[in-house]
A and B are shown apart, each in its own frame.
Chain A
Amino acid sequence: QKEVEQDPGPLSVPEGAIVSLNCTYSNSAFQYFMWYRQYSRKGPELLMYTYSSGNKEDGRFTAQVDKSSKYISLFIRDSQPSDSATYLCAMRDSSASKIIFGSGTRLSIRP
């Protein structure tokens, strides 16, 4: 079993829709949860991160962590064609510098 599981997609939605991206994990020691966005032929870039459980909002993006279920989500409101990319969840425990990445979900926003 992988430490972090993520549906690879692809996921295609119309412009303006709300997008929900999810990951599950098995290591209860994870404390930091991140979402990276990767455009084609580019390196990943950090979108946002949260510590422990709860929600965090940044503009059209909301990250949600449910540690009891070992489940994290990223919601994108009013999705735009420019949001089309691969989204990778990532996480680490507080004692380590190493980040464990999900395999990424490929998202396409149709104009």
Chain B
Amino acid sequence: SAVISQKPSRDICQRGTSLTIQCQVDSQVTMMFWYRQQPGQSLTLIATANQGSEATYESGFVIDKFPISRPNLTFSTLTVSNMSPEDSSIYLCSVVSGVYSYNEQFFGPGTRLTVL
């Protein structure tokens, strides 16, 4: 298993500003994922972040809006840029521990973002 922490746990931000969310894992992992979870909605994958390569974004999400860094095998950041109230959501990072473990993702506790 993997233990994941996220910072900040919650934040209230003004429209037009940016917020960087950090994800720290207690072990080295190959694949990390960033999700968005809006109230009453399913978890939506934003992007997959592998160390040493550019993040792969899902349809509807772009790098300019959600830049991601993955400097090593235990850490990643997601930035929500030029925020609007529609970006209010819970943002979660998750990891898989190996290529045969896609079914079991370990999730962080999430970052609850409110944009005014």
Q: Which residues of A contact B (CB under 8 A)?
A: 2, 4, 6, 8, 32, 34, 41-46, 49, 88, 92, 96-104
Q: Which residues of B contact A (CB under 8 A)?
A: 4, 31, 40-43, 45, 48, 58, 92, 94, 96, 102-110, 112
Determine whether the beta carbon of B103 is less than 8 Å from that of A92.
yes
B93 (CB) vs chain A CBs: closest residue: A43
- Contact B42–A88 (Cβ < 8 Å): yes
State whether A97 and B94 are in contact (beta carbons under 8 Å apart), knowing that A43-B4, A44-B43 are contacts in the complex. no
Query: Shortest Cβ distance from A8 into chain B, in angstroms?
Result: 6
The 19 listed contacts between A and B (C-beta, < 8 Å) are A6-B42, A8-B40, A42-B110, A43-B106, A43-B107, A44-B105, A45-B106, A88-B43, A92-B102, A92-B103, A96-B102, A97-B48, A97-B96, A97-B102, A98-B58, A99-B103, A101-B43, A102-B42, A104-B42
Which B residues touch A92, using CB under 8 A? Answer: 102-103
With A41-B109, A43-B107 as known contacts, state yes or no: A99 contacts B42, CB within 8 Å. no
Q: By the criterion CB–CB under 8 Å, are B103 and A103 in contact? A: no
Sort A-B residue pairs by CB-CB distance and give the 10 closest, nearest first.
Answer: A43-B107, A101-B43, A103-B42, A101-B42, A49-B103, A97-B102, A46-B104, A44-B107, A32-B103, A43-B108
Complex CA gap A98/B94 in Å reads: 12
